[in-house]
Structure 1
Amino acid sequence: MNAVAVSVFVFLFLLVTVLGFAAARWRKAKTLDNLDEWGLGGRGFGSFIAWFLIGGDLYTAYTFVAVPATLYAGSAVGFFAVPYTIVAYPIIFLFLPKLWSVSHRHGYVTPADFVNGRYDSKPLALAIAVTGILATMPYIALQLVGIQVVLDVMGMGQDSGSWFVKDIPLFVAFAVLAAYTYSSGLRAPALIAFVKDILIYVVILVAVLYLPSKLGGWGHIFDAAQTSFDGFNKENADAIAAGQVPGKAMMPPPVAQWAYASLALGSALALFMYPHSVTAVLSTKNRSVIRRNAALLPAYSFLLGLLALLGFVAIAAGVSVGDPPNPQLAIPQLFENEFPSWFAGVAFAAIAIGALVPAAIMSIAAANLWTRNIYKAFIKRDATDAQEAKQSKVASLVVKFGALVFVLAFSKQYAINLQLLGGVWILQTMPAIVVGLYTRWFHRWALLAGWAVGMLYGTKLAYDVPLPGDPTSHFGGPLTLIPGAETTKIYIAALALVANLVVAVVLSLVLRAMKVPEGTDQTKPDDYWADLGDEDVEPELDPYAEPHR
């Protein structure tokens, strides 16, 4: 271990841990014993805080570790993350202000609250809640992987022959994250996000300016990456032809273009279906904050593009990632090799803190789903505000434990698969949530049936995908062959969503023809345009109470 790098890392890590606990006194409320305060930060964040919070929520260890790792590994579709974040913001500009308005008028805390109010269906709301919790766990797991690889590169938590000792970084991350989330709720990641984003901007800008100048310029870097990929493809030509290992390339060949496009579009549609994205948005104080942030957040996409290219920089720098290779180590190892020790410590801290912020928000969002849409809806209808807050705090711990299971049970060869697996599931909630913001045409039971088909079909397709070079493994990637195509692949979530929509459309027509009751819509058209100060825009209401209007 490098004493200087480790010391800088520990100092910054302890700093944000202290901030996490101190956040309970930041914008202090009378009490944090209710979901409005603990789970949504008081619903009062303005544009400045929201920009850091939502950015810290969306640009995670996935950004710092998994995206450049896919380019380092030669994935021809690895750059999809950049167009998908660009596409996502016009989408959220359209529908998230409407979700904010109806949620604030009726006191909804989760997207499942909205679904219950819109369709008068607790089973459908339960399905949305369960999906949100399930999809969030692998996303949190990805953050823990990011912390683990940083500690591995620094020499902490390396394989010592004992699984417990090897995975100590995961348990340390779990304990720190669990403690300050339990104590401070959403205020903790909101406050830490300031430090996290400043560190990330500094590290990325220094990296894209300093490292190319040290390695001979971008032209040399791209040439070195192409030479490396060509050499691999030539050496493994027979195995590539047999489908045993994937070929490497900078640009997607024609056969991979559907995969690239569907990954970008599918991920963009899924991004703000995640409960943590909705939680960050609902914590803002008015509709304008959301619109301004949708216009400003693409600044992060610029950083993401620069960061992704560091995968090629690592190749040009001759970074080694072990045998068998673990591409997730590429960027931390690049920083250790090329930066002065003190700045390497700053870079390592940026990655680790970049994992803590979103992981905290994700666990809070999943906990809110449990409390509102399972515990209060089915177990204790008369739960008090304090009991709700207590349930969410405990549930946030359980969710993090579930994320640990994902990390320990699934291969970390390509950590990005963890996030994309969650995308397969969460995209199945889109018909009920997004379409429901505009029309109630779909029948509630048809939506539930479509969701079930999409979940089962998508999970089955994902299960059948092996890891490269291991035909007996499962959940090895997000892509599958288009039905009827021999070589052209597509994002599994897209196929599952199509199946979901087909079932929902057909069954809606059938059920409506059979005059099956559709339930009572608790919302009204003007609810979707309400803003702070309008009549009945209240901070916290019981989403399962009788309509109050």
Structure 2
Amino acid sequence: MNSTMVITVLGIVAIAVVGVSGRRAPSKELGEWTVAKRGFSTFTTWFLQAGEAFTTFSFLGLAGIAFGGGVAASFAVCYLAINFILQYFTAPRMRQLGHRGGYLTQADFFVDRYRSPLLGKVVAVVGAVFLLPYLQLQITGLGMIVQLATGSTTGGNLSMVLATVLTVVFVLWSGIRGIARVAYLKDALMIIGLVVLVAGVALSVNGGIGGLFDTIRDNHSQLLTLDQEGYDGTFFVTAVIISGIGGGLGTMAHLWPPVLAARSGRVLRSNAIWLPLYQIALGIPIIIGFAGVLLAKKGTEPNGVALTLAGQTLPGWLVGVVAVAAASAAMVPSAAIVVGISSLLSRNLLSARNERTQLRTNHLCVVAAAGLALVLGLTRPGLLSDLLLLTYGGLTQLAPAIVMGLAKKVRLGAVPALIGILTGVAVLAWLTFGSVDVGTVDTGLIALAVNLVVTTGAQLVVRSRGQDTVNSPTDSADSPVSVSRT
């Protein structure tokens, strides 16, 4: 076992130990495990939200897109900007409703605002199904990180298993508090790893970073345009829209616990203002992708270019440091996604009758979700960017109903909302798995357009029959809400 592998394994274990240390007292109910006491400070919420927004894709996927598609990789910077702008308005409102109604999950919002347990169950299924590829992406990315850093396929697979098991352990033990504790470490490691990596690349390119782009301009100018195969202007615009909507409107279930656990809406607004600072760090993997065009050997896999260059430009122990940083960028989002999936299934789909049974069911769902993602990661690794866009495309079908549910009075019926979601998901599945050629248009955006048309039509039919949403909740103090159990 070489020094890189030793440092990587020890780093993964250390990350899990930090997560385990986050537990204060045994969690006796799902609420404490999922959202703690709903009193997280700006500092803690900052790291939780950043930990779930900047992931393995930030490390590997962006460098891969830049390597093959050039400036198209900047779509991530654009969609995250949209995310934060939307979150400034939506997150405080979600937190307000969640505090008043006792929400623990995204699906609780649908049950309460639409007065429909059935809609909550459907949302729970949609959320779990489309978050699974995102969880697989993190686990697959971690295995790729170790494999590329150490040159060992077996080591990569074993690290996937080790990291998944350790993530499950600290999530079961500490819940959201453990994720918050690891998020502090993850962000520090991520910044260190990216700085080390870009420094190694800068020293290896003639003329440094400036010389790198001079060479790209002179010899590979097509990478500075949106004219690459598969990464043209249509890809860029539609990917930005679907991803911006997906993250900014709370369509991803694992983004809800940090929002619901925040101390106040002011905390969330502050984070929406300052979290874009992290986007500066996203420029580094994009630079690495461009550097790979000049430095990487022919035949290098796009998603492996960052770690390939680390191996070429850094000593083994520093490659290990970079690998640990990248591993932390996989483990923290994995933990958050597991919490999102398991709480949806145990609370909203299976609906256990008491707190103890609900918590035990939740823990079983944690193990099942992580185990399934691990198996898929080992057997069907897939392409990182495709997995990410599939998640965003599927979950964005919840966006119309979320927007209407955030209003002071919900004017959309549960049935139209349900029909719209199911239609959007069905169209996405047909486009994705039916090999329908739509060029570089994001299939999730096409599905969302159909979703909106169907939802609007169904609502008009409901109103024409005199079945308006008179029973929809308002924010009146005379109409308290509660979803202590769905």
Q: Name the TM-score, length of structure 1 as normaliser.
A: 0.82
Partner of 1:273: 251
CA distance, structure 2, for counterparts of residue 494 and residue 115 of structure 1? 22
CA distance, structure 2, for counterparts of residue 181 and residue 157 of structure 1? 28
Partner of 1:182: 172
Partner of 2:195: 205
The structural deviation recorded for 1:367 is 0.8
Partner of 2:94: 99
Is 1:153 aligned to 2:148, yes or no? yes
Please tell me the residue identity of whatever aligns with 2:11: L
Partner of 1:121: 116
Partner of 1:238: none
Alignment counterpart, residue 335 of structure 1, candidates 298, 310, 314: 310
Please tell me the residue identity of whatever aligns with 1:454: G
Alignment counterpart, residue 347 of structure 2, candidates 372, 380, 387: 372
Going from structure 1 to structure 2, the CA distance change for 1:527 and 1:263 (only over 3 Å counts) comes to: farther
CA distance, structure 2, for counterparts of residue 279 and residue 300 of structure 1? 21
The structural deviation recorded for 1:258 is 2.5
Residues 278-320 of structure 1, C-alpha deviations (whole Å, 9 max, x = no match):
1221121111111111111101111112222211122222345
CA distance, structure 2, for counterparts of residue 166 and residue 191 of structure 1? 25
Alignment counterpart, residue 317 of structure 1, candidates 277, 284, 295: 295
Correspondences of 1:150-549 after superposition (within 5 Å)? 150-155=145-150, 157-158=152-153, 167-216=157-206, 217-225=208-216, 249-253=223-227, 256-271=232-247, 272-319=250-297, 325-376=300-351, 380=352, 383-408=353-378, 410=380, 412=382, 414-438=383-407, 439-465=409-435, 481=438, 489-516=440-467, 518=469, 520-525=471-476, 542-544=484-486
The structural deviation recorded for 1:213 is 3.6
CA distance, structure 2, for counterparts of residue 223 and residue 137 of structure 1? 41
Partner of 1:477: none
CA distance, structure 2, for counterparts of residue 21 and residue 177 of structure 1? 9
For the residue of structure 1 that corresponds to 2:27, the secondary structure is coil
Q: Which runs of 5+ in 1 are unaligned?
A: 160-164, 231-247, 467-479, 482-487, 529-535, 545-549
For the residue of structure 2 that corresponds to 1:43, the secondary structure is coil
CA distance, structure 2, for counterparts of residue 437 and residue 305 of structure 1? 34
Partner of 2:22: 23
- CA RMSD after TM alignment: 2.5
The structural deviation recorded for 1:75 is 5.8
Q: Which runs of 5+ in 2 are unaligned?
A: none
CA distance, structure 1, for counterparts of residue 200 and residue 478 of structure 2? 51
CA distance, structure 2, for counterparts of residue 85 and residue 525 of structure 1? 34
User: Could you tell me whether the CA contact under 8 Å between 2:432 and 2:443 is conserved in 1?
Assistant: yes
Please tell me the residue identity of whatever aligns with 1:415: L
For the residue of structure 2 that corresponds to 1:222, the secondary structure is helix
CA distance, structure 1, for counterparts of residue 215 and residue 424 of structure 2? 42
CA distance, structure 2, for counterparts of residue 219 and residue 46 of structure 1? 40
For the residue of structure 2 that corresponds to 1:108, the secondary structure is coil
User: Could you tell me whether the CA contact under 8 Å between 1:102 and 1:527 is conserved in 2?
Assistant: no
Residues 32-74 of structure 1, C-alpha deviations (whole Å, 9 max, x = no match):
1212211123322101111111101110111101111111123
For the residue of structure 2 that corresponds to 1:114, the secondary structure is helix
CA distance, structure 2, for counterparts of residue 347 and residue 527 of structure 1? 55
Going from structure 1 to structure 2, the CA distance change for 1:249 and 1:143 (only over 3 Å counts) comes to: same
Give the number of aligned pairs: 480
CA distance, structure 2, for counterparts of residue 521 and residue 295 of structure 1? 33
Q: Name the TM-score, length of structure 2 as normaliser.
A: 0.92
Alignment counterpart, residue 38 of structure 1, candidates 26, 33, 37: 33
User: Could you tell me whether the CA contact under 8 Å between 2:71 and 2:226 is conserved in 1?
Assistant: yes
For the residue of structure 2 that corresponds to 1:296, the secondary structure is helix
The structural deviation recorded for 1:356 is 0.3
Partner of 1:236: none
Q: Percent identity?
A: 25
* Higher helix fraction (1 or 2): 2
CA distance, structure 1, for counterparts of residue 472 and residue 337 of structure 2? 29
Please tell me the residue identity of whatever aligns with 2:453: V
When structure 1 is superposed on structure 2, of 167-176 and 13-22 the one drifting more is: 167-176
Residues 246-293 of structure 1, C-alpha deviations (whole Å, 9 max, x = no match):
xx7332139932321111121011013111111221121111111111
Please tell me the residue identity of whatever aligns with 2:211: H
User: Could you tell me whether the CA contact under 8 Å between 1:208 and 1:306 is conserved in 2?
Assistant: yes
